[in-house]
Structure formats: structure tokens, C-alpha cells
Structure 1
Amino acid sequence: MEQRTAAEAGALEFYNDWHRAYFERYSLPEEQRKFTAMPLEALKACEEDRGRHPVVILYNGEPAGFFVLHEGEGIAQFTENKEAILLRAYSINSSYQGLGIATLSLRQLGGFVKRNFPGKTEIILAVNHANLAAQHVYRKSGFVDRGRRIMGRMGEQYILHMDLREA
């Protein structure tokens, strides 16, 4: 069996219409669905807000996950940093979970943002206090908690940061 490097196994690319069929079959466990938007829901929000940029996580060339990078006025509740970009609606399709794809994609995220959004100095995200698995993956991938909290639809959320000047 052919061995692939991490870079060949996983990649990030902007959403394109050919990805849509994959996201029509996308599934998440119920416990995870309460914390994130499904890709098709998030895509609708992207169509209505030009500051939202949908991104596909590929694994061996197949869409395995999804997230949105959000910039502009819509992220003011999360940060005062005008050079920040917000990671939202992050998920890995249930059939690809447990393969290390989340960690791999999040470790590639800093470089992806630097290449495609060169003026950004940090990536931020909001994670629910009860979503311990996601907190673990985010922290393992370089996000740090600076103590900021907001209330979300499912309760308190921690705002985590990745400084792109250090990454």
C-alpha cells in the first residue's frame, strides 16, 4: 500500500460547487451537531455575507471536513482586533473522524490564512465550554486561551487565539 505524506493526505482549499454533493451526504454525531453548523447551513450564511469564506478540508483528495473563515464587521463580538479572522462552523465528517484530520488541518490553517488573507495577524474561534473534545484539538493545534468569554446559543464560549505573527 502506498504511503502518503501528511501534506498529500490532507489539504485545505476554498469551497467550489463540485464539493456540494459531498456535503449533501455529510453527517455528524448528534452530540457534535449541537455545537456547530452543518456545511450546507454555513454555505447559506456565506452566500449572504461576503465576509464569510467557506473552506473544504480534503483527505486523500476527498472532502472530509469543512469550516468558514469570517472577516469584517461580523466578528466584532469576538475580538477588537481588526486584523483577526474568525474560524467558525468547523467539523470533520463522521466517516473521517479518528484519523487525525482535525489536527492536521488545524496545523495547516495558519499558513493557509497567511497565503490567502495576508493582512491578518491572528485567527480566533469560539468553542463551547462543554465541548471538551474540540477544546483539546484546538489547544493541541496551537490555539491559546487568553481569558475572553462570550455567551453563545449553547452557553458560555471560550475565545481561543492563534497569533499568526508567531506561527
Structure 2
Amino acid sequence: MITRLHTSPEVKLAFYRSEHLASLKQFKLPKEQEKFTALPVEMLEVVTEGQYLVVIEHDSDAVGFFMLHATKRVKQYTDNSHAMLLTALSIDHAQQGRGFAKRGMKQLSAFVKEHFPSCNEIVLAVNHRNTAAQQLYLNVGFEDSGRRKEGPLGEQWIMSYLITSE
């Protein structure tokens, strides 16, 4: 009997590159998720200075996407001048349920330390009805800050992840 070693395909975070475009254009989300986030192609059209497009890659294929902000918008979520805002996290519907969001978010701290060394906190807003996203963020180390913000679909919880220098 031949036994094979189980190898897990690599999941990593990378800045958006033009070769990701074809995959990102194919992203689809279920209707219940569309109301809580934006598709990557929508974000590609509005990126401005201080916004960084990040792709969750699985063996170099784009399976997920989010944006990091180092803009004045961050002040709506925290008083920390060294914080960044995370928005528009999505995983292509065909790739959901495979742990890509969790594995990508677990790499967020190291990614931010490497590329944004002055950043010591990531903040985000999650809709109070988006329990799946809340659980994801809690499972990877985000904490409910107790702050609330009114969003287009009702109350949003402001969550925070402190980046330590360890």
C-alpha cells in the first residue's frame, strides 16, 4: 500500500497585481452576503491614495479579497492614529467553506507588520446581522470594541485587532 503525505495548498496574502484581475472579475457572492460587502471589481474602481488592495491567494489563485485603508476614514472607527481600517472582505462563493478567509485573516498581523510597520491596530465594522463574519473575526483574534456605528443596513459593531511587536 502506498501512502501519500497530505500537503495543504498554500494560502497567503498579497497585494493586488494585474494578474489577479481575471479571477477577481469572476467573483460571485450569494445574495445574503452581497448586502454586507462589496465585490472586488467594485473596489478596484474606487481605490484612492492610502487604500491598499489585498488578495487572499490559494496556490497563487485569487480566492479572497479585502481593502486596507490608511485614510481619514479610519478616524470614524478609532482614535488610534496608527490604526488601519479593513473593508470589503469577500471570498469567491465557489471557494467558500474551505477555510480561506480564516487562514488569510490569521496572516493579517504578519502582513501588516511587514508592509505597514507603524500600524498597531486593525479596525473594521461588521453588521450586527452578519453573524458568520462576526464569528470569523472573533475566531482570528478581533475583539468587539463596544463601539457602534450606524450603517446602511443598521447597526454595525466596531471590532479591533491589536498588533503587538512580539
Common fold: TM-score over 0.5: yes
Distance 1:4 1:95 in 2: 21
Structure 1 partner of 2:7: 4
| Deviation (angstroms), 1:2 | 6.0
Which aligned runs of 4 or more in structure 1 are off by greater than 4 angstroms?
A: none
**Deviation per CA, 1:3-25, whole angstroms, max 9, x where unpaired?**
334xx520000001111111111
Mapped partners of 1:131, 1:162: distance in 2: 18
For the Cα contact (< 8 Å) 1:13–1:57, is it kept in 2? Answer: yes
- The 1:117–1:50 alpha-carbon spacing in structure 2 relative to 1, beyond 3 Å, is same
Deviations along 1:58-102, one digit per CA (max 9) or x if unpaired, are 112211000000012122211111100011000110011011111
Percent sequence identity over aligned pairs: 42
TM-score normalised by L of structure 1: 0.93
Equivalent-residue separation in structure 1 for 2:144 and 2:74 (angstroms):
17
Summarize deviations over 1:28-86 as a string: whole Å, max 9, x none.
Answer: 1110010001101111121xx21110000011221100000001212221111110001
Correspondence for 1:80: 79
The letter of the residue matching 1:4 is T
Q: What is the aligned partner in structure 1 of residue 127 from structure 2?
A: 128
Q: Distance in 1 between matches of 2:145 and 2:17?
A: 35
Tell me the SS of whatever aligns to 1:160: strand
SS in 1 for 2:119: coil
Q: Give 5+ residue unaligned stretches, structure 2.
A: none
> What SS class does the counterpart of residue 3 from structure 1 fall into?
coil
Which one-letter code corresponds to 1:20 in the other structure? L
More helix by share: 1
Structure 1 match to 2:45: 44
Structure 1's unaligned 5+ residue stretches are: none
> By how many angstroms is 1:133 displaced?
0.3
Once residues 7 and 66 of structure 2 are traced to their aligned partners in structure 1, the CA distance between those partners, rounded to angstroms, is 24
| Contact 1:54 1:69 (C-alpha < 8 Å) held by counterparts | yes
Larger radius of gyration: 2
